[in-house]
Structures are given as structure tokens and as C-alpha cells.
């Protein structure tokens, strides 16, 4: 199992319609084959300035690779992520 996580900050003002639209558009990622336990999260710790997180799981590397190469993921990254995300960090975990 691989848990793919990303913490990020948007270029949009907090609570704006643009922020809401981005989060709604990101739900397309949950429908990509192989994605399990997709979550959108609001970051609440004062220890960093990221505001949101996405988390999802994949059964194995093949499922994760399929997600990365899927046209819906590629389009989301190109059309929404790159122009709208100000900063992010990505962490992928496997169980110990």
C-alpha cells in the first residue's frame, strides 16, 4: 500500500469562490481507477502555512503509476494545480 499525501497553499483568498471551485474540481481525482480513501483536508496546525491537504491510498506501485499517468490527473495538474497552487510539499508513505 502507498499513501500519497500533499499539503498545499492556494493563490486564492481564503473562503473565496476560486478556492471553493478548486476544491470541487479536485474531486475528479477520487474517481481515477486505483484511488482509495481520497480525502480533502484543512490543515490547522500553526507550525506551517499550508492550508489544505489531499490524501489517498493505492494498493501498489502499479495503481499509483496508473493514477499519475491518467488523463484526468494530468489535466488537473496542468489546468488547475500549476496555475492555482502557490506552494506545496508531497509525501508518499508505505507501511513499516
CATH number at residue 16: 3.30.70.100
The domain tally of the chain equals 1
- How many other β-carbons are positioned within 10 Å of the β-carbon of residue 93? 12
- How many other β-carbons are positioned within 10 Å of the β-carbon of residue 26? 17
Mean pLDDT taken over the chain: 97
pLDDT in tens, 63-85: 999 999 999 999 999 999 999 99
Domain range for residue 71? 2-93
- Give the pLDDT score at 62: 98
- Give the pLDDT score at 60: 97
Beta carbons within 8 Å of 15's beta carbon, 6+ residues apart: none
Q: What is the mean pLDDT of residues 38-65?
A: 97
- Give the pLDDT score at 81: 98
- Alpha helices, DSSP H only, in 35-85? 61-69, 71-76, 82-84
Amino acid at each position: 500500500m502507498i499513501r500519497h499525501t500533499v499539503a498545499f497553499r492556494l493563490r486564492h483568498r481564503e473562503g473565496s469562490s476560486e478556492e471553493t471551485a478548486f476544491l470541487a474540481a479536485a474531486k475528479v481525482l477520487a474517481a481515477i481507477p486505483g484511488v482509495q480513501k481520497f480525502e480533502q483536508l484543512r490543515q490547522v496546525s500553526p507550525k506551517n502555512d499550508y492550508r489544505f491537504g489531499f490524501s489517498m491510498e493505492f494498493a501498489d506501485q502499479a495503481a499509483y503509476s496508473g493514477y499519475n499517468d491518467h488523463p484526468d490527473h494530468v489535466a488537473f495538474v496542468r489546468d488547475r494545480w500549476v496555475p492555482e497552487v502557490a506552494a506545496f510539499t508531497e509525501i508518499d508513505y508505505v507501511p513499516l
